[in-house]
Homo-oligomer: A and B are copies of this chain.
Amino acid sequence: MASLADLIEAYIQRLVEAGEGVAEIQRTLLAERFRCAPSQISYVISSRFSPERGYIIESRRGGGGYIRLIRVELEDEDLQEMMSQVGSYLSQSEAYDYLERLFDEGFMDEKTFQVMRAATSRKALTLVLPDRDMIRANVFKAMLNAYFATRQRSEES
C-alpha cells in the first residue's frame, strides 16, 4: 500500500521533472496540501531525495523560505557506484584513494582534486575518531555531488 510518504515522493518527483531537474518547494505549503506535519516533508526529502540518491538540497529559513532540490545525474556508472559505496564513515586513506582514481581517470581536474584532498585531510578535520570519519563522509559526498552537478550545468550552456 502506498504510504503518504510515497505519495509525497511521487508529487515531488513530478515537480523535479517539470522543472528539468530543479524543484523549489515550501515545506509548510506542501504539508498543508497533504494535511500532514511539516516535518513529514522533511522526512520524505531526507529519505528519498538525499545526496546518496543524487540530489542536492538547498534551503532557506524564515520569511520567504524554501527548499530547493537539484537532481544530479552521474552519467557514469562508476561514479554512481562510488557515491553509494561511501557509507556513513570514510577514512582519510579511503577518501584519498577515491580522489586519486577520479583524477587519474580524468573525471576531475587538478584544482578540484587538491581542494577536495585538503577538505578531507586529517589536518582540516580536527575531530576525535568516530566523528572525524563521519564528517569526512558527509563532506566528501557533498563535494562530489556539487562537482558533478556543476559540470552538468556548465556543459548544458
**Interface residues, chain A, CB within 8 Å of chain B?**
1-6, 26, 56-57, 62-64, 66, 109-112, 114-119, 121, 123-127, 131, 134-135, 138-139, 141-143, 145-147, 149-151, 154
Contacts and interface: CB of A to CB of B under 8 A. Distances in A.
A3 B139 CA distance: 30
Number of copies of this chain that the complex holds:
2
A119 B142 contact: yes
B111 A150 contact: yes
Contact of A111 (B1, B119, B151): B151
A70 to B, nearest CB: 10
Contacts of A135: 124-127, 135
Please report whether the interface of chain A is mostly helix, strand, loop or mixed according to DSSP.
Answer: helix
A138 B123 contact: yes
A3 B111 contact: no
B64 A2 contact: yes
Contacts of A142: 118-119, 121, 123-124
A110 B117 CA distance: 18
Contacts of A64: 1-6
B131 A145 contact: no
22 contacts: A1-B66, A3-B62, A110-B154, A111-B147, A111-B150, A112-B112, A112-B115, A114-B147, A114-B150, A115-B115, A115-B150, A117-B146, A118-B145, A119-B143, A121-B142, A124-B135, A124-B141, A126-B134, A126-B138, A127-B131, A127-B135, A139-B139
